[in-house]
Amino acid sequence: MSTVTRLTPERAEPSPGDHRRAFGAWLDGVEADLRASRQSCRTLDGEMAHNRRVSELLWEQGFTRWGWPPAAGGFAGSPLLRAVVAEELTLRGLVHQNIFTMPEILGAGFAALASPALIGEHLEAYLTGRHWWCQGFSEPEAGSDLANLRTRAVRNGDVFVVNGQKVWTTLAQYAQRCVLLARTGAPGSAHRGITAFLIDVDTPGVTIRPLRGMNGDDEFSECFFGDVEIGADRVIGEIDGGWTVAMQILAFERATIFWTRAAWLLERLGALLRRSSGGPRAAALIGDAYQQVAALRARSRQTQYAMAAGRFAAPQSSVDKVLMAAAEKAVFDAAFELLEDEFVTEDGEDAAVWRNQYLYSRAASIYGGTGEIQRNIIAERLLDLPRAP
Ligand SMILES: Cc1cc2nc3c(=O)[nH]c(=O)nc-3n(C[C@H](O)[C@H](O)[C@H](O)COP(=O)(O)OP(=O)(O)OC[C@H]3O[C@@H](n4cnc5c(N)ncnc54)[C@H](O)[C@@H]3O)c2cc1C
């Protein structure tokens, strides 16, 4: 049954600037409460609970409904309106950037390609924070080589029966739903024989085991599927058309969310600058990192407008991904060098946060497709260079 809550917008679709002003004015009034809520819960469990509170509040107030389809309780309109809300929250440090922007990856891909019935049934619960979704793409032998994934979904009347394993599934232990890629074609069918499903994680036969990352967080999980039945009505897009869904979602993962990633990196650089004791080395490191974040931000602005206008092709997102990984590493390399003693010896919460973020930044050139793969895509698809041998 659909649970969509209808709310009529109080005004016509605002411009991004007007939306930012209205949201910022409202945020001024609740900022202290949101800050206290976030500061009281620095664990992953706490961040997830805080994210749910913020998502629910913003949806109730209508600010995050812009840019999402009415079938999911949204107000329609430009996705740029979502970007300015996420940016304002991030610049003020009121949300965990990775967590808050996840619906921009899975939710946006789902909104673009799922049937109206599936959207009406499931998307709003995700956007309000009542549900959490995870991305079941990578497998032990299929990360970069995603087209050769082995998890199988075999049709049996009205259901598909799924068997296989996924790995590195971000925050799967909190999820109610998983966007799952499985092979429905013959074993050698590569990208032509893959289907995307929206699966309930509490279906019998699904087992989730959290994995600890080097930053100490149980950030991702391995997921096992043993004779898991999923209704044929849970196919996203077309049967055997899952590659299109995957490429759409990966384009969002490699591009849309970097507008707020750049805002977060700017906030981090500001924090580093305030703690730095100055000098030429600090100026060089912070200046270099700033240039890289500025380049990411300039590229990302262009990307946000191109996406909003429907003028953005998936391979272009590889440029954004390469810039993002370089900028993020530059910011945290600078922090590592300038806060060296703190990184190594201090136990305080601030030091722990810097350490955690430094270690996570090493993954920036892996998730969403590695740096090598992005450079191959840029070379072959954008620059028309010969294929790598
Ligand atoms: C923090 C984090 C979160 C993640 N979250 C998720 C998630 O939620 N859902 C999900 O499905 N996956 C997730 N992943 C997995 C991620 O998508 C994969 O790690 C990534 O695609 C690389 O795959 P792999 O780890 O199997 O490495 P491999 O594909 O085995 O690559 C190993 C190395 O070989 C290189 N290489 C491989 N093929 C080529 C080639 N053709 N040319 C040149 N170099 C090559 C790679 O660049 C890399 O350096 C996450 C990963 C991380 C680090």
7-21, 122-136, 359-373: least confident range: 7-21
For 357, the token pair is: 């973020």
- With a cut of 90, say whether residue 389 has pLDDT above it: no
Beta strands in 171-240 (DSSP E): 177-183, 194-200, 206-211, 220-231, 235-236
Nearest CA owner, ligand 1 atom 26: 143
If you measure from the C-alpha of residue 371 to the centroid of ligand 1, how many angstroms do you get, rounded to a whole number? 9
Reported as type and span, the H/E element at residue 57 is: helix 44-61
Q: Among residues 87, 88, 121, 253, which one is catalytic?
A: 253
Residues 119 and 45: beta-carbon distance below 8 Å: no
Tens digits of per-residue pLDDT, 260-314? 999 999 999 999 999 888 899 999 999 999 999 999 999 999 999 999 998 988 8
Task: Give the span between the Cα atoms of 381 and 36, in whole angstroms.
Answer: 47
- Report residues whose beta carbon is within 6 angstroms of any ligand 1 atom: 134-135, 137-138, 143-145, 168-170, 219-220, 363, 366-367, 369-370, 372-373, 376, 388
Average pLDDT of the chain is 95
At 129 the pLDDT is 96
Nearest ligand 1 atom to the CA of 134 is: 8
| Average confidence (pLDDT) over 93-97 | 94
- Between the CA of 308 and the centroid of ligand 1 the distance, in Å, is 28
Please state the φ and ψ torsions of residue 387, each to the nearest 5 degrees.
-65, 150
Choose the residue to mutate in 104, 132, 367 for probing ligand 1, maximizing ligand atoms within 8 Å of C-beta: 367
Surface-to-core class of residue 26, CB atoms within 10 Å of its CB (0-12 exposed, 13-18 middle, 19+ buried):
middle
pLDDT at position 1, please? 53
In the three-class reduction of DSSP (H, G, I as helix; E, B as strand; rest coil), residue 231 is classed as: strand
**Residue 164: band (very low, low, confident or very high) from pLDDT cuts 50, 70, 90:** very high
pLDDT at 137 over 80: yes
Ligand 1 centroid, distance to 369 Cα (angstroms): 6
Tokens of 162: 């799924």
Q: Catalytic residue at 222?
A: no
Q: What is the pLDDT of residues 171-223, one digit of tens each?
A: 999 999 999 999 999 999 999 999 999 999 999 999 999 999 999 999 999 99
All residues at 6 or more sequence positions from 360 whose CB lies less than 8 Å from its CB, including other chains: 213, 215, 219
**Residue of the nearest CA to atom 43 in ligand 1?**
372
Look at ligand 1, atom 25, and give the residue with the nearest C-alpha: 143
| Average confidence (pLDDT) over 321-338 | 97
Q: pTM here? A: 0.95
The percent of residues above 70 in pLDDT, for the chain, comes to 99
Give residue 4's pLDDT: 76
